[in-house]
Structure 1
Amino acid sequence: MTRRTALVTGGAIRVGKAIALALAEQGYDIALHYNQSSHEAVQTAEEIKKFGVKAKLYQANLTQPEQCKALVDRVFKENDLSVLINSAATFPETDTIMDGLADWEATMGLNLRAPLMLSQAFVDNTPLSGHIINILDARINQPAGDHLVYRLSKSGLWHLTESLAQDLAPNIQVNGLALGAIMAPPGASQDHFERMAEKIPLARTGSPKAVGEAVAFLVGQEFITGAVLPIDGGEFL
C-alpha cells in the first residue's frame, strides 16, 4: 500500500515545521518545501524521519508563478500526494498606507497568489480526492491600520478558501486555520509574546503544536469543507 504524502509549504521552520511534524506523526510522508531555509529544512527532515515516514526536500521561490506549478508537478511525479498545506507566508514589518505599499508584490505574491496557483496545480493532478488547508490569520476579523497589505492578502486567502471549497467539492475538501498568538513575530521578544496573554480570554498564548494537531484533525475528516477554524484562544471573538 502506497503511503499518503502531504506537501507543506514553508515547512522547514516555525508553524510550517509543526504542521509537517504533526502530519508525519499521523503517518504521512512529507514533501517539505523551503525557499531560503535550507539548513533548517535538513534538520526538520531528520525530525520527520523519526516517525518512520519519508521526508523529501523541495526548494522553490513561490513568489515566482512558474515555480508554483513546477513544485506541485514534481511532488506529484515522485509521491502519492493527497494533502496540500499552504503555510508559507511573509509578514513585512513596514506595512502601512504611509509606507508606500513597498511590499505589495512580494506579500500578495507569496500569501495569496501562490496558494491559488499551488491549489490549481494540485487540482490538475488530483482526480479522486484530497485536502487543501490554508493558514490564515484571526486578526483580519478586526480591522486595524497595521500590516495593511498583509491583512489584505490573508483576507483574500480566507475568501479563496471558501470559494475553492465550493468549486472543488465533492472531490477535494478545502479548509483553513485562523491563527492568533501562536509564536512571537520575528524580531519580537518572548517576553512581549507572553504579555499578549493578558488580552486573550483563555489567559494564555498558543503553540505551534496546537496548529499541527488542528491540521491533523482536518485531514482526517470526511464531512468538513469550507470551514475556518480559529486557533486564537478566543482573542478575536
Structure 2
Amino acid sequence: MRDTLLITGAAQRVGLFCALALQQQGYQVIISYRTRHAAVAELEAAGVMCLQADLTDLSSLSSFIDEVKRHCLKLRAIIHNASAWQKDLPLIATDGLTTLAQLQQDATVFDAMSHIHARAAYLLNRALLPLLQAYVSDLDQSQQDSEMPCKMADIIHLTDFVATVGSEKHQAYAASKAAVENLTFSLARQLAPTIKVNAIAPALLMFNQGDDDSYRQKALAKSLLGVAPGADEVLATINYLLQSRYITGRVLPLDGGRQLRLP
C-alpha cells in the first residue's frame, strides 16, 4: 500500500513541482489549494488528491481536516508549504489615518502572515497527529523489539532565509516564519523518537515570469553561489529528510551561502 503525504499549498510553483514528483515516486499525495489554478487539473490527472481549503479560516480548515481523515487512516508525512508574501505597510501614516485605523491596517498584515504560516501549521499538526501516530504504530513484533523504530513519520515546515536574519520590508512575514521554526523545535522534542520534525529554509529558488534582468542579477548576487536552483533543490531536501533516520529538530538552509554575503 502506498504511503500518503500531505502537502499544503501545492497548486503552483515549488509545491506543484514537489507534489507531482512525489506522486511519481510512488507516494499517494494529498494537497490543499486555495485557488483552483490550471495546474490543479494536471495534479488530478496524475493521481494527486486535491482538496480546496482556506487554511486561514477555521471553518474551512476544519472541513479540510475532516476530508483528509475520510480519505486516509495514516499519514507518512505532512509538508507545510502553504505561504503568502505580504509587505509591511509604511511605518508612519501619511494619509491622515487615525491611530486606530493605522493599527488595524498593520494588524491585518501581521494576522494574515501569522495565520497562514504559524497558526495553520500549529493547528494542522495537532489535528492530524493521530494519523502520523497511526503510521508509526503499524509495526510487527520484530520491529517493536528493535532499538530504533523501523517506521518513522515526518513533519516538514517550509520556512525562509529571513526567519533568522529578519527583513526590513517584510517584518510580519519574517516573524511568522521564525515562529514556524520555533514550532519545529518544540514538536521535535514532543514527538521523538518516532516522528521527526524539521524545517527547510530557502532563500531565492526561482524567479517570477515578470522579473526583469536587472532584478535577477541583483538577486543572484546576494548569494555566494549566484544561482536560482529551482524547485528541484527543495524536492531533494524533502527526500533527504524522509529517508533520514537521525535528523530531527533542525532547520536546513537552502541559501547558496547567502548568510556569508550579509554585511
What's the secondary structure of 1:116's corresponding residue?
helix
Question: Conserved in 1, the CA contact under 8 Å of 2:196 and 2:248?
Answer: yes
Match for residue 105 of structure 1?
A: 111
Q: How do residues 197-208 of structure 1 correspond to structure 2 at under 5 angstroms?
A: 197-208=220-231
Q: 1:223 to 1:187 in 2, by over 3 A?
A: same
* Cα distance, 1:75 vs structure 2: 1.7
3-state SS of 2:259 partner:
coil
For 1:85, which of 79, 82, 85 is the aligned residue? 79
Matched with 1:116 is 122
SS in structure 1 of the partner of residue 50 of structure 2: strand
* Cα distance, 1:39–1:115 mapped onto 2, change above 3 Å: same
Change (3 A) 1:210 1:43: same
Q: Residues 5 and 14 (structure 1 numbering): CA distance in 2 closer, same or farther, change over 3 Å?
A: same
CA-based RMSD of the aligned residues comes to 2.1
- Please state whether the residue corresponding to 1:41 is helix, strand or coil: helix
The residue aligned with 2:42 is 43
- Alignment CA distance shift 1:185-1:119 (3 Å): farther
Q: Where does the alignment leave 5 or more consecutive residues of structure 1 unmatched?
A: none
Q: Which whole-Å CA distance do the structure 2 matches of 1:34 and 1:63 have between them?
A: 12
Q: TM-score normalized by structure 1?
A: 0.88
Relative distance call for 1:42 and 1:226 in structure 2 (3 A) is same
For CA contacts below 8 A with separation 6 or more, give which structure has more relative contact order: 1
Whether contact under 8 Å (2:12, 2:37) holds in the other structure is: no
Task: Measure, in 2, the Cα distance between the counterparts of 1:97 and 1:225.
Answer: 38
Q: CA deviation at 1:38?
A: 4.1
**Distance in 2, Cα, partners of 1:131 & 1:96:** 39
Q: Which portions of structure 1, spanning 4 or more consecutive aligned residues, are displaced by more than 3 angstroms?
A: 93-100, 185-191
Query: 1:96: how far off?
Result: 5.6
Distance 1:153 1:218 in 2: 23
Instruction: Please give the per-residue CA displacement for 1:117-143, whole angstroms capped at 9, x wherever unaligned.
Output: 111112133322421100010122223
Deviation, 1:233, is: 0.5
Query: 1:194 deviation in Å?
Result: 4.3
- Residue 233 in structure 1 maps to residue 256 in structure 2: yes
Q: Shift in Å at residue 68 of structure 1? A: 2.8
Amino acid at match of 1:63: T
Alignment size in residue pairs: 230
Paired-residue identity, %? 29
Alignment gaps of 5+ in structure 2 = 94-104, 137-151
Letter in 1 for 2:84: T
Residue aligning to 2:219: 196
* Normalised TM-score (structure 2): 0.80
Q: Does 2:16 align with 1:17? A: yes
Distance 1:221 1:70, change over 3 A: farther
2:32 maps to: 33
Q: Which moved more, 1:196-205 or 1:171-180?
A: 196-205
Report the CA distance between 1:18 and its aligned residue.
Answer: 2.0
Larger radius of gyration: 2
Q: Deviations over 1:14-67 (max 9, x none)?
A: 111122123223311110210113432122333xx2xxxx31110110001243
